[in-house]
Amino acid sequence: MNKSLFLSIAAMLSLNASAEKVELSTPHNTLVLNIWKGGEPKFLYYGQKLSASDLASLPEPTNANWSHLEIYPAYGASHTQSETAFAMKHADGNLSSQLVVEDYQKSAVTEKAPNGATRTGERLTITLKDPLYPNIVHLYYQTYSDVDMIECWTDITNKEKATVTLTQFYSSCMPIRRQNVYAHHFHGSWASEAQLTCEKLNNGILEIKNKDGLRNAMSDRSEVMFSLDGKGRENEGDVIGTALVYSGNYRITVDTDDSEFHYYFAGINPDNSEYHLKKGETFTTPHVAYTFSSEGLSGASRNFHKWGRKYHLRHADRERDILLNSWEGVYFDINHEGMEQMMHDIASMGGELFVMDDGWFGEKYRRLTDNAALGDWVVDKKKLPEGIERLVADAKKNGVKFGIWIEPEMANTTSELYEKHPDWIIKAPGREPILGRGGTQVVLDLCNPKVQDYVFSIVDNLLTKYPEIAYIKWDANAPVMNHGSQYLPAADQSHLNIEYHKGLISVCERIRAKYPDVVIQDCASGGGRATYGLLPYFDEFWVSDNTDALQRIYMQWGTSYVFPAIAMASHISAVPNHALQRTTSLKLRCDVAMSGRLGMEIQPKHMTEEEKAFCRQAITNYKMIRPVVQFGDLYRLHSPYEGDNLASLMYVSEAKDKAVFYWYKLETFKDEHFPCIKMAGLNPDKMYTVKELNRIDNNPLPIEGKSFSGKYLMANGLEMPYSHDVDNNKKNDWSSRVIYLEAR
Ligand code: GLA
């Protein structure tokens, strides 16, 4: 077919006189779709909120004829040869589908959000049908009345006479106008999570995926920010932010075809996961969350943080406790005296919670190192003869709360659980299992309802017996290496990845129904499960096993794109750092940890009195700024990824009466020239008084105690000395500042 003939057919398809502009709005965003019965639903606009008159005159995008613009393109019966959102094999073997609008309606929604809060908004339901088959696909678009976020998802119902096979089932597709668009996304691995990548969208495909099976934030992450007018800037420019709300394998595809648009697709990864949908069954995809901000990347982040704190994170209206976790302090060397000493030490520094990490369990097989006992959640009586009873009593005595580590989805082959239930592990039929951590770790098969009951019972038993347990660290330290389920029937082996995550969510729901209050940390070999797919059931996540302060500046920067500080567990640890062997100053370690949810991961016994006093002061300071950090608005100011050895960010309270400014020098040179960092987010008319926190200098900064208008601070910033004014024996190459600003 020549191009002009193609264009005229496309024109007939796209310019339909009976098309209705269907509009959805949040406080500052508008999405407009072009919908008409009998045609494919199309995209018209997503961006800043439109006035009624602009909405009425909203034109078709230029060259729309050549841009197919479908919001849920199906494979097999369409003019477009580009990526599609949906494909299935019908019961009769036909591989083609065509999805046209049968009906659509908008309705007001008031319902429970995933974290239990009540959300209100509008829901658009578009009912799609294949003219040749009775199957129904619903596309949902749901707004929030108080945050700038629209969630989209799909459900697919098989109304044929027999089972059909879904081979592609993205949650959503969003066309993004070509105009010098940059994608900002995150790559990582163990101990280097959330590394920011920024690339211009070019012709062809950008694919971001995860096939870990369990830890879908370990490598590439499923959140992407699109800067629409060149490389993203933190506090200006148009940005579309996207996040897939799912804990399992996913695929994000951005297809830039021969049209005027990039097409963003997000959903469950269909690789080796074709889904057999029985007659009458419905398959529901995960949600994709979209936001738009004209206040740059930080603006989109603030939208995610507000939405996350209100609707997708547990207890985000409660300040988080300052804790000591035992892992880097003692590893598996757990005993009553050691735990009590740590409780006493964290309490003496002003901490509020002590968490006993790995190593406390196992009877027949003991957890002396990482090669045994996962699955046997009974106290190791040789290490802890007086049991958890004494631990909770010791915590009480020392005036701190008590928390405990578990890894409930796992077993070791050296465990009583595995001896009893070898059929409970994920493993392909007929194969010997491939073993993970410690040479013995295997993953339990959460597709199996008995395994779901068992995993629930681990938490249930602990919390029923010891209601004093205030905090659980839920870990998951293995990928799926054995692709097969001993529970699923042979014909449905491809359901493993999807059913596992359904099982996991169902367990989490049961736990939250019975234990709504307990604080639960989401950890997976570090930050392997930092995902909104799980956060509704958790209070926070462990950012990384790498606690080196300098590396954390980069990882926390990337993590902050979509996750709020209240969820980012950030701990002061020992030097040389256990992951990197680098020695940084205690001040830098405190200053970096205080930009997230502050904690400690260290053996206090090995700290000097001077170091303890410094941490005590840092904890006191953190208590003062905690509401600003944990509930405030984030403004990233200067990216460590710029490569000019400086990073800076700040949090501002909602009322704009308090702010905390962080400044980190990343490397030291003889000839140093750093820019003065302009602040953001302040009230230009308010006067803010400067107070440096965690000060080590012999003399206060010249600006200490002085007041500046928000206007001045945002136009000029404050000069930060490049080094610290300390005695020679205290000098090192690190330099950082935490400045508290309070309006008079
Ligand atoms: C994982 C976690 C660590 C620690 C260990 C315990 O690596 O990320 O924080 O809990 O497991 O084995």
| 111-240-194 Cα angle (round to 5) | 90
| 243-505-567 Cα angle (round to 5) | 50
Q: For residue 17, is pLDDT > 90?
A: no
Q: Is residue 477 in contact with ligand 1, taking CB distance under 6 Å?
A: yes
Determine if the pTM surpasses 0.85.
yes
pLDDT digits (tens, 9 = 90+) for 40-91: 999 999 999 999 999 999 987 666 555 689 999 999 987 778 899 999 999 9
pLDDT digits (tens, 9 = 90+) for 483-494: 999 999 999 999
Q: Is residue 528 in contact with ligand 1, taking CB distance under 6 Å?
A: no
| 611-739-545 Cα angle (round to 5) | 55
pLDDT digits (tens, 9 = 90+) for 556-605: 999 999 999 999 999 999 999 999 999 999 999 999 999 999 999 999 99
Three-class DSSP category at 292: strand
Give the chain's mean pLDDT.
95
Quote the pLDDT of residue 150: 98
Q: For residue 5, is pLDDT > 70?
A: no
Q: Is residue 327 in contact with ligand 1, taking CB distance under 6 Å?
A: yes
Q: For residue 1, is pLDDT > 50?
A: no
**CA 80 – ligand 1 centroid, Å:** 48
Residue 521: exposure state from Cβ atoms within 10 A (0-12, 13-18, ≥19): buried
The amino acid present at 729, given as its one-letter code, is: N
Three-class DSSP category at 308: helix
From 190, 409, 545, 600, the mutation candidate for ligand 1 (largest count of ligand atoms within 8 A of CB) is: 545
Residue in this structure with the two tokens 């105690």, named with its chain if needed: 705
Strand-pair partners of 664? 647, 736
Count other C-beta atoms under 10 Å from residue 712's C-beta: 16
From 410, 477, 522, the mutation candidate for ligand 1 (largest count of ligand atoms within 8 A of CB) is: 477
From 367, 405, 601, the mutation candidate for ligand 1 (largest count of ligand atoms within 8 A of CB) is: 405
The amino acid present at 654, given as its one-letter code, is: E
The distance of Cα 637 from the centroid of its chain, to the nearest Å, equals 21
What average pLDDT does this structure show over 220-233?
98
Quote the pLDDT of residue 672: 84
Quote the pLDDT of residue 66: 57
Percent of the chain with pLDDT over 90: 93
**CA 525 – ligand 1 centroid, Å:** 6
pLDDT digits (tens, 9 = 90+) for 297-345: 999 999 999 999 999 999 999 999 999 999 999 999 999 999 999 999 9
What average pLDDT does this structure show over 444-458?
98
Q: Is residue 522 in contact with ligand 1, taking CB distance under 6 Å?
A: no
pLDDT digits (tens, 9 = 90+) for 119-139: 999 999 999 999 999 999 999
Q: Is residue 526 in contact with ligand 1, taking CB distance under 6 Å?
A: yes
Q: Is residue 525 in contact with ligand 1, taking CB distance under 6 Å?
A: yes
**CA 407 – ligand 1 centroid, Å:** 9
**CA 369 – ligand 1 centroid, Å:** 12
Q: For residue 8, is pLDDT > 70?
A: no
